[in-house]
Amino acid sequence: MTFPSMFSYVVKQWQRYLSLPLMAFSFAILLSIACNSIHSNTEANHQAQQEAQQEAQQEAEKSTSTEVQSELLVVTDNEQTSQKLEQYLTDNAFNGAALIFENDQITLNKGFGLANRAKGYDNNADTVFRLGSVTKQITATAIMLLHQQGKLNIVDTIDQYIPSYPNGDRITITHLLQHTAGIKNYTSFANFGTIMRDYYTAERLIGIFKDLPLEFNPGSEMRYSNSGYALLGYLIEQVSGLPYAEFVQQEIFTPLGMTNSGYGTNQIGDDAIAQGYGQTGNQSITIDMSVPFSAGALVSTVNDMHLWMLSFNQQILLSAESQDIMFSPALNNYGFGWDIREQDGILLNQHGGAINGFSSFVVRYPTKNKHVILLSNEEGVNLYKLIQGLAAL
């Protein structure tokens, strides 16, 4: 019997058998019993709620603890990998900055040694280094952007854009990109030590080599030539109507957020731009940065070059079709500004750079979603050997 029905029954019995005083007394007793019953039920419910909340909290803590432990295991693995990579570069006296990206995460991003030995500035991931010939892949991308925009075609002969160039009706843009044009390399000239100290406009620079006979029939051989890439820079200016430096800034560096990259200046060695050093440890011999031009004058950081590498994975600048063309190996396994090879069955896109006081090397492993960037403010460093060692770890 429920409390309301029981209460109604008792009241009726009072009315039949009990006097009013006794009824009042009994009513007080029943009311007390009812209150105690309600209070007991409330306490039981409250206790049950507390127990349920405690169980839920314990489960949440257990889940959070599992997640944190899992996260800590990942961090520990990354730290161990980073320590191994860092120790290898330290043991090999690497001076510069390094960034390694693999499996969608950065496993190493660090500066080594000094950016300026006299001032005691350390190298770090935002230190600016001269890229040397790593510039060529950026120049090649600028050409491919103009190709995508329909402003030129890479199979065109260069006389269509530079009418006065000797043998321009025999040399294609592709020949220039793949070092198969036969144009003599101006940085190999006997008087280059004199040339590199002077300022050159693009036209004057091209004038150094344009009237010399070709070394071979275009397309028949591959011979590395900075002259061909200097000519590509001039071609970019003629087609776009912009100075080369402005074009790469507007079309490449700014869209990718490469805020510490650009055309190098003659002034180096402050707290942002590394001082270059020769193999003897002294400051490097001066070169006017107008001379390497679109073959080697750009500067960057490992953080910016990381964005550059990711742009290929994400097809930010170049379409898949354009990248297929760029990364197709021709003579001597050279594509457009990239050396294309396989090593142990793994595809590599790579290129090195060397310029007064600086060395650079970048490599993509496109099938592994991995890349390695080494920039050094010492010249003559065998960075390719260091990258091979890093890959073996």
Percent of the residues in the chain that have a pLDDT greater than 70, as a whole number:
80
pLDDT for 144: 98
SS3 189: coil
The 10s digit of each residue's pLDDT in 61-120 is: 333 332 322 222 233 357 888 999 999 999 999 999 999 999 899 999 999 999 999 999
CA distance 321 to 372: 24
**Confidence check: pLDDT of 24 > 80:** no
Q: Where in the chain are the domains? A: 90-392
**Confidence check: pLDDT of 189 > 70:** yes
Give the pTM. 0.81
pLDDT for 79: 83
Strand partners, 112: 96
59 vs 308 pLDDT, higher one: 308
How many CB atoms within 10 Å of residue 119? 11
How long, in residues, is the chain? 393
The 10s digit of each residue's pLDDT in 350-388 is: 999 999 999 999 999 999 999 999 999 999 999 999 999
CA distance 367 to 347: 7
Q: Does domain 90-392 have CATH number 2.60.130.10?
A: no
pLDDT for 52: 44
pLDDT for 77: 57
